[in-house]
Structures are given as structure tokens and as C-alpha cells.
Amino acid sequence: DAKTTQPPSMDCAEGRAANLPCNHSTISGNEYVYWYRQIHSQGPQYIIHGLKNNETNEMASLIITEDRKSSTLILPHATLRDTAVYYCIVRPVNTGGFKTIFGAGTRLFVKA
Amino acid sequence: DTAVSQTPKYLVTQMGNDKSIKCEQNLGHDTMYWYKQDSKKFLKIMFSYNNKELIINETVPNRFSPKSPDKAHLNLHINSLELGDSAVYFCASSPYFDNEQFFGPGTRLTVL
């Protein structure tokens, strides 16, 4: 079972920042927060992950609260191509990748 | 260059048949996976595999079997296909068991 809670859908205006929240109140100390997205009819795409520090890469930023019970994925300048389902996943290390459990995700609509 | 490729993209077959889906990755990764995405769009892991270890999701029927001729390939064999096997199947790979995963484009299987 997924250990995260995400809103089912969100809208964002093109060019604005998209802030996607994720609650993971039962996260354990050895669990990472991962974000993937799935654009319609494609395979999931890795975005970013973190343990407790904020992370940034060319795609997005990940803000994790100090108590690690929630996080926010930030797409700084959303484009129409960012319309997708975004999945927040928490999983421990050394599990054979087996705990990469996808929930329902958040369907992000970027509008012109 | 396609990082993770799957063939065929679409597969339509009759109940009771045996079929295979092929997966190849050219990323030099050690670990590969198979996922099933059902009609409700939930992604569920079926197998994770590297040269040393196969981990099987216990909910997967033994009609499904992964076969790896070499490190770059992980094929999925399905025997005695059933209507409920209709889904999109995704192959993925990662450098090691616990890194971010790279997904293929998916194979849409329809069992009639």
C-alpha cells in the first residue's frame, strides 16, 4: 500500500510555479521521498528524490519539511508539457526496489 | 537512442494463449523490473531482478515468469492468458537495486 497522500488533481497556469504537495506522516528514518511523473500513454519518468535536505535538479525542486512528514515538489515554470500524473513515493533503501509503490498520484493540468 | 525499449507496443491475443513481451535496456544497468498498470491506472511491481537475485511480488500468478538471457534484457512470459491480464506492462531498469528507475514506453496487452 502506498504510504503517501496526494490531492487527486491540481491546475496550474503556464509559466507559473506548480507546487505539488505530498503527505507522508508515517515515514521512517531510513525512507527516501521519490517523485515520478507519467505523461499520458508513456512510462513513468523519474524526477527527483531526497532524504531530509531540500533538493534541486534541472527538472524540479523538492522541499521536505523538517519533521519529514510532508514534502512539496516544485516545478518552477510549468509548461503545457508538464501536464501529467505526479507520484510521490516513500521507500526504504536495500529492498530490491520493491517498495517503489505507486499510489493514485496527482493529476496536474497546466493551462495556457 | 532509446534507453529502455519494449516490444511489442500492442499485443492482442486470445484467452489461453502463451505470449512474451521483450525488454531491453542500453543503460548498462544491473537491475530490471516489470510493472503492471491496470485499468484504474495503478502501477504495481511484479518482479525485480539482477544477476544475483529475483524478487517476486507474491500476488503475481505463477503463469507470469521473467527470463533474462543477459544483463540488458528481461523478458516477460505469460502462460494461459486470462481476461484479467489485460493491462499495460512496463519494463524498467536502475543502476542498482535502489536507484531511481528508468521506464520503457509500455506494452498494452489485450486478452479477448
**Residues in Cβ contact with B77 at an 8 Å cutoff, skipping those fewer than 6 apart:** B18, B19, B20, B64, B65, B66, B67
Identify the residue whose cell numbers are 503492471.
Answer: B36
Work out whether the CA dihedral B50, B54, B56, B60 comes out positive or negative: positive
CB contact under 8 A, A95 and B97: yes
Per DSSP bridges, beta strands B10-13 and B107-111 are parallel
At residue B97, the pLDDT reads 72
Identify the residue whose cell numbers are 535502489.
Answer: B98
B21, B35, B40, B98: which to substitute to probe chain A, counting the most A Cβ within 10 Å? B98
Q: What is d(CA A70, CA B91) in angstroms, rounded to the nearest whole number?
A: 29
Beta-strand ranges (E) seen in B1-112 are: 4-7, 10-13, 19-25, 31-37, 43-49, 54-56, 64-67, 75-78, 87-94, 102-103, 107-111
Q: What is d(CA B18, CA A75) in angstroms, rounded to the nearest whole number?
A: 44
At residue B39, the pLDDT reads 83
CB contact under 8 A, B105 and A100: no
Q: How many CB atoms lie within 10 A of CB A1?
A: 5
Q: Which residue of A has its CA nearest to B106?
A: A43
Taking only the tens of pLDDT, chain A with its 112 residues reads 558 999 999 999 999 999 999 999 999 888 899 999 999 989 999 999 999 989 999 999 999 999 999 999 999 999 999 999 999 998 877 665 566 778 889 999 999 9
Facing residue for A42 by CB, picked from B31, B98, B105: B105
At residue B1, the pLDDT reads 63
In chain B, what's the furthest Cα-to-Cα distance?
37
The verdict on A1 touching B (C-beta cutoff 8 Å) is no
CB contact under 8 A, B103 and A49: no
CA–CA min distance B8, chain A (Å) = 14
A57, A86, A87, A100: which to substitute to probe chain B, counting the most B Cβ within 10 Å? A100
Instruction: Dump pLDDT digits (tens) for B33-90.
Output: 999 998 888 888 898 888 767 877 778 899 999 998 888 999 999 999 999 999 999 9
